[in-house]
Structure 1
Amino acid sequence: MSEPIIRVENLEVSFFGQGTSQRVVHGVSFDIAPRETLALVGESGSGKSVTALAMMRLLPRETARITGRVSLAGRDLLAMSEAAMRGVRGNEIAMIFQEPMSSLNPALTVGDQISEVLVQHRAMSFREARAETLRLLDKARIAAAARRFREYPHQLSGGMRQRVMIAIALACRPKLLIADEPTTALDVTIQAQILALIEALREEEDLAVLFITHDMGVVAEIADRTAVMANGRVVEAGETAALFRAPREPYTRALLAAVPRLGSMRGTRLPARFPLVDPRTGKTDGTGEPVASPPAAETPLLRVRDLSARFDMASGFFGRVTGRVHAAENVSFDLFAGETLALVGESGCGKSTTGRAIMRLTEAASGKVELEGRDVLALKRAELRFLRERVQMIFQDPFASLDPRMRIGAAIAEPMLVHGLASREDARKKVAELLPRVGLDPAMAARYPHEFSGGQRQRICIARALALAPKLIVADEAVSALDVSIKAQVINLMLDLQQDFGLAFLFISHDMAVVERIAHRVAVMYLGEIVEIGPRAAIFENPQHPCTRRLLAAVPIPDPARKGLRRVIDETEVKNPIRPVDHVPPLRQWRTVSPGHEVQVFGKEWHDRPGAA
């Protein structure tokens, strides 16, 4: 084995504040060789990102103390002066972060931002920097590089912005690339593209890669070796294949058990709980047993017909409407009591807009939405109480959904008080009943949102949604931002609540492996339209539309044995949903594949795409 590019020995990090000291990283050691990827995995708060920031000397000197040794080509980075360290950052070690929009300057074009790095670090002229920037954009697999050079970050998709970050990271030809959750915020197809790009660049540039993630499927796909962190310590490390095949530590087994595996539900009809492993004992909690079938009903709880939502695009001095975003177009489906319908698709396909239009949080342009036979879109503002009491929504970011100045008991009680369904004393008793239902102690009602973990905050949002005893819950990417084990716990909770209360869920997601576990039926969206809909087993075992196959093909498989198999990754970007003002949507034809399974007849534009039949 070649000499390591980076060697971390007994790294420790402590934070000081208010007269106390807390150690958050305890004796972490590892090394990474050229063309090798080490995955640093663990749940939020395990110390992964702090370890990477300590290596880069990016922690605040006033409040952080770092000890140990970080060796790069024989030099101890922790002993360097700040001036010398500035020469290392970017030139020899580069870092890409989870959210590219927070790392890019919105006031500068992407070309200028890459060129700035080249001018500052490699002393290039502007003309040389421009030529090198175009080469880097090509290297990052960004099509039409000359046009992208002049565009601003907000004009790019999330996947393209992350490619720009990779181009910036590669600008000075570093020896080590630290990727801190670079795909967590991306949908599954864009994630597959970014992973394939990092893998290719590692070989082309002789890079060493430190890949920080909590997604074990991504680990299996990209990592040569894996180090598992918990509570600031590396609890297990080794070759990725061996670690997946025979994990020694209960915590590692718990992480692996919670990973949703695409295909694990093959041959079954009903959703099933995740079999969870206790990270302290290694014992399994449950066997992933299926949940009960929803009660048969002749009429749907929710009926959506030809629902469309559009947003005007104005330009010019007088703000004249020059185009419209067709966010949802002629969307139709039924949802029955006790059933979960998953609405899936790539970012920008119209999933969330559809959910918000049903909730009247976004006004629909046309169509019909009936809840218990009553037309929701025809309700006057004073009549919306009918809708709010029967339909509740759970959002992706629970922290943004909760008032940071309000105790969580008051936040859960507020809907009951606003709707006049309970006195303050009755609402307090109801809160004490709801918190145990979502796995929280009633005494926690007096705490504020910042005192809870992400998973606990999402449970609070679920409790608040249940306060009005709704018939339907719209869950908009409700588990996308959660760690893998917390995600499994929340999904099990949702399945239990569905059984106990007969809830219907409209589950909006891009995570096909999770959808396979939780859904009774699945509707696939593309460019605002449903292109395929049917029972979950039919969609996953017999996908018909190329868009459905594209989503399924992009799911990372948590099996290191498949690491050497090169998947065909569809690099095509989702088309722009902006249409001219006078655009008339074409009539669509549908084909019945099997009972309840229908697919939109697709045209020649799909036949040349990877994965198209």
Structure 2
Amino acid sequence: MSDVLTSRVSAAGASSSAAEPVLSVRGLTTAFRVDGDWKTVVKDVSFDVMPGETVAIVGESGSGKSVTSLSVMRLLAKGSSRIEGSILLNGKDLLALSDKEMRQVRGKDAAMIFQEPMTSLNPVFTIGRQISEALTCHGEIAKAEARAETVRLLEKVRIPNAASRFDDYPHQFSGGMRQRVMIAMALASRPRLLIADEPTTALDVTIQGQILDLIKVLQEEEGMSVLFITHDMGVVAEIADRTIVMYRGEAIETGATEDIFRNGRQPYTRALLSAVPRLGSMAGHSWPLRFPIVDVETGLRSEPSEVADTVERGAPVLDVRNLTTRFDVLGGVLGRKVGAVHAVENVSFDLAQGETLSLVGESGCGKSTTGRSITRLVQPNAGTVLLDGQDVLTLDTAAMRRTRRSIQMIFQDPFASLNPRMSVGATVAEPIVEHGLARGSEAREKAADLLKRVGLSPDMMKRYPHEFSGGQRQRICIARALALDPKVIVADESVSALDVSIKAQVCNLLMDLQQSLKLAFLFISHDMAVVERVSHRVAVMYLGEIVEIGPREAVFSNPRHSYTKKLMAAVPVPDPARRGIRRNLSVDELKSPVRPLGYVTPTRRYDEVAPGHLVRVDDGM
């Protein structure tokens, strides 16, 4: 397999340029020591990256793509890892270099951007100092000159007011801006190769679009090569000249990105492409549509079916009116209140039994705080939340505890939601026992039935969370949420962290459960393509307020608010023909929701542009 791939890669490189490759990897094999034995996780991988070229390595979690990039940079722990093969960077064999020589290569000849910038930036140093350090450690440069060059780099990556932000700390930047800082740091010594390991996975769709555009522009300006690691085929289509598909540690297919998308030969490649939700695919469908499921071994695809209408049009099961949640901002020597974060401001909507209402928007818009306010995980300042006609905001602790049987929450990170010291069976049975619904063997039987309902085997009950994959852990969280037979489930970014095929399976599970149990879902997400597929209605939030709400088909086919249009324009489309497109999205950060004391929110007015389709006007955006 590897020899065939190598010949294809070499042929592709020769046709694109007669120049020598910037990066040439041959027979890369990486193993880790596990319980005294060596476990191979990357097997005989070979590829080239030519000057000015973008090569994407794509695959799901566990495929070996990130280990491949870390092996190239020699960032794996020496005692517990073993790298074999040949890695030539500008003709220099990286595996033959000493640790000191390798440190000179990192940043100067090759630089790397990681998925989570907050773990890569030192919180106790200013971002200016950290970028300047990347300049000074690779050459003699005066302090004033380093500062000037750092400001130039910050301007190059489109940081507004770059000079004034030199002395800011990482926590003072948004996620998108922190990722821009990481790119500036990576570019400090003008490397010929930039390795970007899932640099946009944790970002909102608009910020992701900005970062992708930025990498394209910088690549053209600097003439550098890019090795891009991702599991998002939409991102691959928009940025990569060539694509390498990895599966279980092997490079199973490689070629020009257009060929991979149009004529993918391997079943796994076709499965990845088929599982990608495409914005606009719901045209003509009145109700949510299940995701197609593709067998990675055979490539056989099960065609999705439309979900039957189970929405009951009577009195809503959940009715939210004028919900307002604010968090105090303290300042001064005495720590007095100087303002407030207006996280949720005068939000109103209802939710029928069997219906899915999706809340969408960027980080900081207030959608997660809305979900937590409804479930009283945070205490709102004002408004009413009627659950089956009862205002949950007026309940005492004991009454609220009983009411939580009717409204449950699924969180984004299933591993953080599960107690690592409790077996899965005990975790699912715990709410049943705590609420006095069953005990002993009866509670265990109900837990086993719930695990079976979400597609897991009852014999897994004795296992612990670390023994499950991310998708399986999310299924466990869903089973736990179902334990009390709730009427409403708040799903807060519950599929955002999952690989595309697992995301499809979990979304299908949620839709099937909704149909069989007539559950109402408040689905919180920033993934517009997924939202379009699972929703009956959609509400778009910006700075704590709903700016547009209506039936899914109306909002997606005829978005009226400028912010809704911006969200949709930023969604990556899995079509290689769009590779040269620039979205020209504004690089401004989301405006601050912090308001001074005494601030009065303007009275908002909404136009009904179609039945049930409301759009905020005179918003001053």
**Contact 1:258-1:484 within 8 A present in 2 as well:** yes
Equivalent residue letter for 2:59: G
Equivalent residue letter for 1:86: R
2:202 to 185, 192, 199: 185
Gaps of 5+ in 2: 1-16
Match of residue 73 from structure 2: 56
**SS where residue 24 of structure 1 aligns?**
strand
Give the C-alpha shift of residue 49 in structure 1. 0.7
Deviations 1:84-116 (A, max 9, x none): 111100100100100000010111111111111
1:104 to 121, 124, 146: 121
Give the C-alpha shift of residue 122 in structure 1. 2.2
Rounded to whole Å, the distance in 2 between the matches of 1:390 and 1:78 is 58
Match of residue 506 from structure 1: 522
1:447 to 463, 470, 483: 463
2:100 matches 1:83: yes
**SS where residue 582 of structure 2 aligns?**
coil
**Contact 2:58-2:230 within 8 A present in 1 as well:** yes
Rounded to whole Å, the distance in 1 between the matches of 2:390 and 2:310 is 22
Give the C-alpha shift of residue 339 in structure 1. 0.2
Rounded to whole Å, the distance in 1 between the matches of 2:74 and 2:312 is 60
**Contact 1:9-1:70 within 8 A present in 2 as well:** yes
Deviations 1:233-274 (A, max 9, x none): 001110001110111000011111110100000122200101
**SS where residue 28 of structure 1 aligns?**
strand
Rounded to whole Å, the distance in 1 between the matches of 2:420 and 2:591 is 38
1:324 to 340, 358, 370: 340
Give the C-alpha shift of residue 19 in structure 1. 2.1
Give the C-alpha shift of residue 126 in structure 1. 1.1
Counting aligned pairs with the same residue, the percent is: 63
2:384 matches 1:368: yes
1:267 to 265, 268, 284: 284
Give the C-alpha shift of residue 432 in structure 1. 1.2
Give the C-alpha shift of residue 189 in structure 1. 0.3
Deviations 1:286-317 (A, max 9, x none): x1111011233220000000000000000122
**SS where residue 442 of structure 2 aligns?**
helix
Which stretch shows the higher mean deviation, 303-312 or 382-391? 382-391
Rounded to whole Å, the distance in 2 between the matches of 1:483 and 1:502 is 27
Rounded to whole Å, the distance in 1 between the matches of 2:555 and 2:34 is 53
Rounded to whole Å, the distance in 1 between the matches of 2:195 and 2:128 is 22
Equivalent residue letter for 1:261: R
Rounded to whole Å, the distance in 1 between the matches of 2:440 and 2:90 is 66
2:355 to 339, 355, 364: 339
> Mapping of 1:257-336 within 5 angstroms?
257-285=274-302, 287-336=303-352
Match of residue 582 from structure 1: 598
1:14 to 21, 31, 36: 31
Rounded to whole Å, the distance in 1 between the matches of 2:80 and 2:618 is 58
**Contact 1:122-1:172 within 8 A present in 2 as well:** no
Equivalent residue letter for 2:375: M
Match of residue 421 from structure 1: 437
What TM-score, normalized by structure 2, do the two folds share? 0.96
Give the C-alpha shift of residue 568 in structure 1. 2.9
Give the C-alpha shift of residue 150 in structure 1. 1.3
**SS where residue 268 of structure 1 aligns?**
coil
**Contact 2:605-2:616 within 8 A present in 1 as well:** yes
Rounded to whole Å, the distance in 1 between the matches of 2:559 and 2:617 is 13
**Aligned-residue CA RMSD (Å):** 0.9
Which stretch shows the higher mean deviation, 562-571 or 7-16? 562-571
**Contact 2:535-2:552 within 8 A present in 1 as well:** yes
Match of residue 256 from structure 2: 239
2:524 matches 1:524: no
Give the C-alpha shift of residue 330 in structure 1. 0.2
Rounded to whole Å, the distance in 2 between the matches of 1:466 and 1:268 is 28
**Contact 2:110-2:192 within 8 A present in 1 as well:** yes
Which stretch shows the higher mean deviation, 140-149 or 331-340? 140-149
> Mapping of 1:85-484 within 5 angstroms?
85-285=102-302, 287-484=303-500
Deviations 1:522-556 (A, max 9, x none): 00000000000000000000000001000000000
Match of residue 609 from structure 1: none
Deviations 1:295-347 (A, max 9, x none): 33220000000000000000122111001000000000000000000000011
Gaps of 5+ in 1: 607-613
**SS where residue 597 of structure 2 aligns?**
coil
Which stretch shows the higher mean deviation, 165-174 or 594-603? 594-603
Rounded to whole Å, the distance in 2 between the matches of 1:71 and 1:389 is 59
Deviations 1:437-465 (A, max 9, x none): 11111111111101111111001000100
2:49 to 4, 24, 32: 32
**SS where residue 270 of structure 1 aligns?**
coil
**SS where residue 330 of structure 2 aligns?**
strand
Match of residue 610 from structure 1: none
> Mapping of 1:504-583 within 5 angstroms?
504-583=520-599
**Contact 1:545-1:602 within 8 A present in 2 as well:** no
Give the C-alpha shift of residue 385 in structure 1. 2.2
**Contact 2:160-2:588 within 8 A present in 1 as well:** no
**SS where residue 356 of structure 1 aligns?**
helix
Rounded to whole Å, the distance in 2 between the matches of 1:439 and 1:123 is 60
**SS where residue 498 of structure 1 aligns?**
helix
What TM-score, normalized by structure 1, do the two folds share? 0.98
> Mapping of 1:594-609 within 5 angstroms?
594-603=610-619, 605-606=620-621
Rounded to whole Å, the distance in 2 between the matches of 1:593 and 1:357 is 29
